[in-house]
Amino acid sequence: MLLFVVLLALRCLGLLEWLPHKWRRQKLLLRQMPEVCTPFTRQDYLLAFFGVLAVQWVMLFFAWLTLNQSGGIPAFLAHFWQRFTEAGDSPHYLFIAENGYQPGGEDAKWIVFYPLYPLLIRAMSVVTAGNLPLAAVLLSQICWGGCGAVALRLAGCWLKRKQAITAVLFLAVYPFAFFAMGVYTESLFLLLCMSCIVWAYQKQWPLAGVAGGLAALCRTQGMVLLLPVLWLWLMARKKQKQGIKSLAIGIIPMGFGVYLACNYLLFGNCFQYLQFQADAPWYQTTQWIGNNLALHWQLAFQYPGLANFIYWPQIGLYFVGMALLFWGLFQGVPTEWLIWGGAYLGMSYLPGWLISGSRYMFGCIPLFLLLASIPAKRVRLGLLLVSTLACCCYTVLYLQGQAIM
């Protein structure tokens, strides 16, 4: 990770022409793939919207059939409802949506969950006659469909048509993509992050700032967006002076500031959530990435029953992510992808007692773009097949009730 950061910093300084001229002769590090603005129609975006939804529904139904279940569609929907509204963190989001944050007692610890998603669930419940679980599922499904459309737009900024579609497919069959279907923040967070970067590409800085600020009000990793957006602003400023509206990118950290204000108003401490995270049941403290990976390796052998669901996948995804980022560094992929992906990867692996790394990596959108950028068609299709098979397997395991978090 440190080597990647150093090389990326040199690349950024070279592209900004802030390095001595003789240092900028390293063409391997500074070359960039040509920008391709692929046009898509409204029908393309609609297909992407409903396509990602269809992929996951098919995956879930197939996984349910493998469990030798009976009862038809009603039984399938009942099983889906139980797993996606009552398991994992889902009840906590629903509790916050119904009751808000609590200033004391056992429920005070739910402040560790950021407020945007529960707030939108509450707003959506107006449509569902107060049914909060239904509102949450509808919200996630709408956002997941939106992810398909916006991902197509994002990928089309740099990739040709077939590669852009492949990027959306990689997103749709990510091995843990099923989390986008239920009461989790994944689909909302993905939609906000991709929208932020798309608007930054279009130099619509106020919209990019608002989307980034909302993402930071959804999950800690939303703060990462400030880095690629700032890079895009610097590159735009090289060509043309940006107006006062570009200052709106400062809204991104303000989203996190709102969350800190919630902590202060409830507990008199902006960082009270860190204390709750350090206690049961999360035991989360910030450690260096190398130490965390070594700990995950030890835990994989200490708890072999959980290793295939938690530790091996998140260890593997870290190294896959780093390999793709290093590959992209010397293949000339857009620098903002590398900044975004590297910062997101690093932040996601800083928690010491990590048990949701595989789910967190769902939000590392540059990895899907990098996979789709691989020139060899057979390699892209092979990796897509591997991801699809892994998605099928982990969807089955999740519906079985395994400890996938």
State how many domains the chain has.
Answer: 1
Give pLDDT, residue 25. 55
pLDDT band, very low/low/confident/very high, at 24 (cuts 50, 70, 90): low
CB 386 within 8 Å of CB 206: no
What local confidence, expressed as pLDDT, does residue 352 receive? 82
Q: Within a domain: residue 297?
A: yes
Average pLDDT value over all residues in the chain: 93
Tell me the per-residue pLDDT of 102-144, one tens digit each, with 9 for 90 and over.
999 999 999 999 999 999 999 999 999 999 999 999 999 999 9
Q: Is the pLDDT of residue 70 over 80?
A: no
Q: Which of 94-103, 281-290, 392-401 has the lowest mean pLDDT?
A: 281-290
Closest Cα partner for 94 from 75, 107, 77? 107
Q: Which residue has the higher pLDDT, 247 or 23?
A: 247
- In the chain, pLDDT over 70 holds for what percent of residues? 97
pLDDT, position 220: 93
Domain-located, residue 77 = yes
Q: Is the pLDDT of residue 45 over 90?
A: yes
Full residue range of the structural domain in which residue 95 is found: 10-21+37-400
pLDDT at position 246 is: 86
Answer with the residue of higher pLDDT: 332 or 260.
Answer: 260
Flag whether pLDDT at 295 surpasses 60.
Answer: yes
* pLDDT tens-digit series, residues 233-255: 999 988 888 888 889 999 999 99
Confidence of residue 27 (pLDDT cuts 50, 70, 90): low
Q: What is the per-residue pLDDT for 28? A: 60
Domain-embedded: residue 29 = no
Residue 147 lies in a domain: yes
The token pair at 342 is: 């590297």
In a domain, 288, yes or no: yes
pLDDT in the model for residue 203? 93
For residue 206, is it within any domain? yes
Q: Is omega for the bond preceding 206 within 30 degrees of 0, making it cis?
A: no
Report CA 161 to chain centroid distance, whole Å.
Answer: 23
Given pLDDT bands bounded at 50, 70 and 90, which one contains residue 37?
A: confident
Main-chain phi, psi angles of 336, to 5 degrees: -65, -30
Distance separating alpha carbons of residues 216 and 223, to the nearest angstrom = 5
pLDDT band at 23 (very low <50, low <70, confident <90, very high): low
Confidence at 22, pLDDT banded by 50, 70, 90: low
164 found inside a domain: yes
When mean pLDDT is compared across 23-37, 124-138, 161-175, the lowest value belongs to 23-37
What are the pLDDT digits (tens) for 333-378?
Answer: 999 999 999 999 999 999 888 889 999 999 999 999 999 999 999 9
Q: Is the pLDDT of residue 260 over 90?
A: yes
Rg of the chain over CA atoms, in angstroms? 21
Q: Which comes out higher in pLDDT, residue 86 or 405?
A: 86
- Lowest pLDDT segment from 26-35, 319-328, 368-377: 26-35
pLDDT of residue 372: 97
- Residue 157 and residue 198 in contact, taking contact as beta carbons nearer than 8 Å: yes
pLDDT at 188 over 60: yes
Q: Which residues, at least 6 apart from 318, have a Cβ–Cβ distance to it below 8 Å?
A: 289, 293, 345, 349, 357
Q: Let me know if residue 3 belongs to a domain.
A: no
Residue 242's pLDDT is: 83
